[in-house]
Amino acid sequence: MTKKYSELALFGGKKTINYKFEKYNSIGDEELIAAQKVIKSGVLSRYLGAWDKDFYGGEKVQEFESMAASFFKVKHAITVNSWTSGLICAIGAIGIEPGDEVIVTPWTMSATATAILHWNAIPVFADIDFETYNLLPSSIEANITEYTRAIVVADIFGQSAEMDEIMQIAKRNNLKVISDTAQSPGATYNNKFAGTIADIGGYSLNYHKIIHTGEGGILVTNCDELAERMRLIRNHAEVVVKDKKVKDISNMIGHNFRLGEIECAIGIEQLKKLPTLNKKKQFIAEKLTKGLSGLTGLTLPKIAKKCNHVYYAYPMQVNPSLIGVEREKIWKALAEEGLSLSPYYQNIHLLPIYQKKIAYGTKGFPWNSDICKREVSYKKGICPNAESLHDNYYLGFGLAAYELNENDIAKICETFHKVWRNLDCLCNS
């Protein structure tokens, strides 16, 4: 065995990172005090599923919503018990009809597309930009048909999609746009907050995000009508439309998507911290970029024009043709050195629900029904950039999972450089 073989932990060498990184935790004393006050009050929720002054929730719900609207510079912010619930509210609110087509990214969490199916509409997957991982405007345009009614855009990994072009496409084709900004609260596009440029946007408050309330979400919009429809869908709409004198009762199928007083009290304290927490992630990302620049065949995150990246994740790409080593071998070598990365990201159009077209019941509804107006393909090959990244190139580090210090960053960079010094060994292994 050569000296180079012995240097890598994969071949018996000394491991570079022999400890676990500290887990990220944005919850502190402020949240504890806020939650205790709510608990001592005895009012953990004040929602009523009836037309009443409490239809819109309690004191902390309304305080959090007012604060979020002010923070994100929008007219309306609506809290929900999960971002999945938020997506369901948003798609229902825009007046989607069964069988309508909604263009969506394949490179996201599954709920972005299943929220479309919730309303018996048809997800149509467009491809992503190879460098930013966000929806590719040209692919959106190529997938528009006479049945298309909306676009759901995911602002992935902490960076906004190309919203100017997407909104122009939507305007030309009379489409609504929903921004799934779950991973990117506080990111900006053209000096506006990501999520606020679309007709409806919003953010996840799930426990592994930069700020969180355990579970939860925030919807944002500048449209009075859409805001009220989302509030109705959130809280048993069908019960209140008569007393509230709602004229358009389409999609007024209510749910209990309500976020409680404790979560909203925590959310108030979390939102105060968001700018500082994002700056910390940006500082870490800048250090990583500086430390990893110059490694042949390793592509580091691209910050698109007009964008401010907040780095929920630190996405990279390994180019096997340039280094002579497959991405999986690089991933395994880094893992043996003590660095846990992800070599894949979801291509949700390839999940069984779309490949088999089985959703509601066993008969293939909604695809195999009169409401589906054409054959929609989910075959591999429809999103070549997303598929190629997943199969060959992508390598991601979940920055939101860790509280990294200068030593941790140095160790990460040292690990990459060690593996790159030994590419010839990996090539021959």
Residue 250 CB coordination number (10 Å): 11
CA 403 – CA 393 distance, rounded (Å): 26
DSSP secondary structure string for all residues of 183-200 = T-TT-EETTEETTSSSSE
Residues 327 and 227 in one domain: no
Residue 254: per-residue pLDDT = 83
- Tell me, yes or no, whether 195 lies in a domain: yes
Answer with the one of 255, 271, 287 that is the final residue of a domain.
271
Question: Which residues of the chain carry a pLDDT beneath 50?
Answer: 1-3
**CATH number, position 133:** 3.40.640.10
- Tell me, yes or no, whether 266 lies in a domain: yes
Residue 429: per-residue pLDDT = 77
Residues 113 and 49 in one domain: yes
| Count of structural domains, the chain | 2
Give SS3 for 117. Answer: helix
Q: Is the peptide bond before 275 cis (omega within 30 degrees of 0)?
A: no
Beta strand ranges found along 81-129 (DSSP E): 101-104, 122-125
Residues 315 and 267 in one domain: no
% residues pLDDT > 70 (the chain): 99
Residues 183 and 223 in one domain: yes
**CATH number, position 415:** 3.90.1150.10
First-to-last alpha carbon distance for the chain, in angstroms, is 12
- Tell me, yes or no, whether 358 lies in a domain: no
SS3 per-residue string spanning 309-329: CCCCCEEEEECHHHHCCCHHH
Beta strand ranges found along 343-425 (DSSP E): 394-397
What tokens appear for 161 in the block?
A: 């999609």
Residue 351 CB coordination number (10 Å): 15
Residues 230 and 86 in one domain: yes
Residues 164 and 288 in one domain: no
- Tell me, yes or no, whether 34 lies in a domain: yes
Write the pLDDT tens digit of every residue in 345-404: 989 999 999 999 999 999 999 999 999 999 999 999 999 999 999 999 999 999 999 999
Residues 267 and 285 in one domain: no
Residue 427: per-residue pLDDT = 87
Residue 1: per-residue pLDDT = 40
Query: Among 40, 47, 74, 84, which residue's Cα sits nearest to residue 206?
Result: 84
- Tell me, yes or no, whether 335 lies in a domain: yes
- Tell me, yes or no, whether 17 lies in a domain: yes
Write the pLDDT tens digit of every residue in 218-270: 999 999 999 999 999 999 999 999 999 999 999 999 899 999 999 999 999 99
Residues 92 and 124 in one domain: yes
Residues 45 and 170 in one domain: yes
What tokens appear for 140 in the block?
A: 């959106």
- Tell me, yes or no, whether 259 lies in a domain: yes
Residues 131 and 7 in one domain: no
Report CA-CA distances (Å) from 86 to 231, 259, 370. Answer: 10, 11, 28
Pairing of strands 176-180, 298-299: unpaired
Domain boundaries, position 297: 3-25+274-344+387-428
- Buried-exposed string 392-405: b where 16+ CB fall within 10 A, e elsewhere: bbbbbbebbebebe
Residues 59 and 12 in one domain: no
- Model confidence, pTM: 0.96
Answer with the one of 271, 287, 310 that is the final residue of a domain.
271
- Tell me, yes or no, whether 70 lies in a domain: yes
Residues 185 and 215 in one domain: yes
Answer with the one of 245, 271, 297 that is the final residue of a domain.
271
